[in-house]
Structure 1
C-alpha cells in the first residue's frame, strides 16, 4: 500500500468532512433524541456517506456524464438543500423526533451533503483518476474508510457534550448551527455559480 497517498487521502478528506465542525450541527439535529437514536443516526449517516463516496469513486464521472450533470450543479443542489435545513434550525420549525425522523436526519443532511458533499466527492474522484496500480487504489480505499471511522467516533462520543449543555444549551447551539449551516450553503452556491461562470466564459 502507498502510505504517502494514504496520508494525502486521509488528511484531505478529514479536512473536508471536518468532524469537529460537524459536532454542533449533529447535536442541533439530534440533541433532543434519546442517546440510542442519536448514535444510530450517526452510524447511518457515516454508512451512507461512505456508500456515496465509494459509488462516486468507482463510477462518479460516468454517472454524471450519463445524466448530463456538471459538478457545479451538484454543488448548487447541495447548497439549496442545506439552506432548507438551516432555515428549520433557525426558526425552530422541526418535526417531533421519532424513528422516521432519525432516519431522515441521518440521510439528509448528515450523510449527504454534509459528510458526502461535493468537496469529498470531487476530491475522491480526482484521487481515483490519478491512481495507478493496486497499491494506490488500496491506499485510497483505506484512507476513505479511516476518515469515516474518525467521523463516526467523533459523532459517537458527542453525547458527552449533550449532557453538559442540557436542553437550554442545545437550543442555543441549534440556532448557531443553523447560522453556520446557512453560511456553508451560501458558500456552496457561490462556488457553484463561480464555476458555472468560469466554465461558460472559457467556451
Structure 2
C-alpha cells in the first residue's frame, strides 16, 4: 500500500468532512433524542456517507455523464438542501421531538448527505481514483476513506459528553448557532456552484 497516498487521502478528506465542525450540527439535530437513538443516528450517517463516497468513487463520473449532470449542479443542489435544514434550525421547527422517526431521518439527510458525503468529499475522492495507477493506489485510497469514517464515527460517538454538559438550554442555543453556520455553508456551496458554472460556460464561449 502507498502510505504517502494514504496520508494524502486521509488528510484531504478529514479537512473537507471536518468532524469537529459536524458536532454542533449533529447535536442540534439529535440533541433531543435518547442516547441510544443519537448513537444510532451517528452510525447511520457515517454508513450512508461511506456508501455514497464509495459509489461515487467507483461510478461517479459515469453516473453524472449518463444523467448529463455537471458537478457544480450537484454542489448547488446540496446548498439548497442545506438552506432548508438551516431554516428549520433557526426557526426552531426541529425542537418538537414527538415525531421520533422524522427526527431520526436527519441521520440520512442532511448529516449523511450532503454534510459528510458532500460535493467536496465526492469530487476529491473521484479525483484520487482517476489518478490512481495500480492496485496499491486503490487500496491506499480505500484505506484512507475508511480511516476518515472511523474518525468521524468516534467524534459523533463521544458527543454525548457535550450533551450532558450543555443540557436542554445549551442545546437550544447550539441549535440556533448551528443553523446559522449551516446557512453559511449552504450559501458558500451555492456561490461556488454559480462561480463554477460561470467559469465553465465562459471558457466554452472563448
What is residue 165 of structure 2 aligned with on the other side? 164
Output one character per residue of 1:51-86: Cα deviation in whole Å (capped at 9) or x when no partner: 000000000000000000000000000000000000
1:102 and 1:36 mapped to 2: Cα distance? 14
Alignment of 1:1-203 (within 5 A): 1-94=1-94, 95-203=96-204
Aligned-residue offset at 1:97:
4.8
- 8 Å contact kept, 2:33–2:97: no
Q: Taking structure 1 as reference, are residues 97 and 74 closer, same or farther at Cα in structure 2, changes over 3 Å only?
A: farther
Output one character per residue of 1:160-203: Cα deviation in whole Å (capped at 9) or x when no partner: 00000000000000000000000000000000000000001001
- TM-score of the superposition, structure 1-length normalised? 0.98
- 8 Å contact kept, 1:48–1:107: yes
2:43 and 2:103 mapped to 1: Cα distance? 11
Aligned-residue offset at 1:98:
4.3
2:100 and 2:168 mapped to 1: Cα distance? 20
Consecutive unaligned residues in structure 2, runs of 5 or more: none
Aligned-residue offset at 1:49:
0.1
Q: Taking structure 1 as reference, are residues 97 and 188 closer, same or farther at Cα in structure 2, changes over 3 Å only?
A: farther
1:55 and 1:101 mapped to 2: Cα distance? 26
Q: Give the root-mean-square deviation of aligned CA atoms.
A: 0.8
> How many pairs were matched up?
203
2:86 and 2:130 mapped to 1: Cα distance? 34
- 8 Å contact kept, 2:37–2:104: no
Secondary structure of the corresponding residue to residue 132 of structure 1: coil
Aligned-residue offset at 1:111:
0.1
Aligned-residue offset at 1:93:
1.1
- 8 Å contact kept, 1:37–1:102: no
1:202 and 1:13 mapped to 2: Cα distance? 29
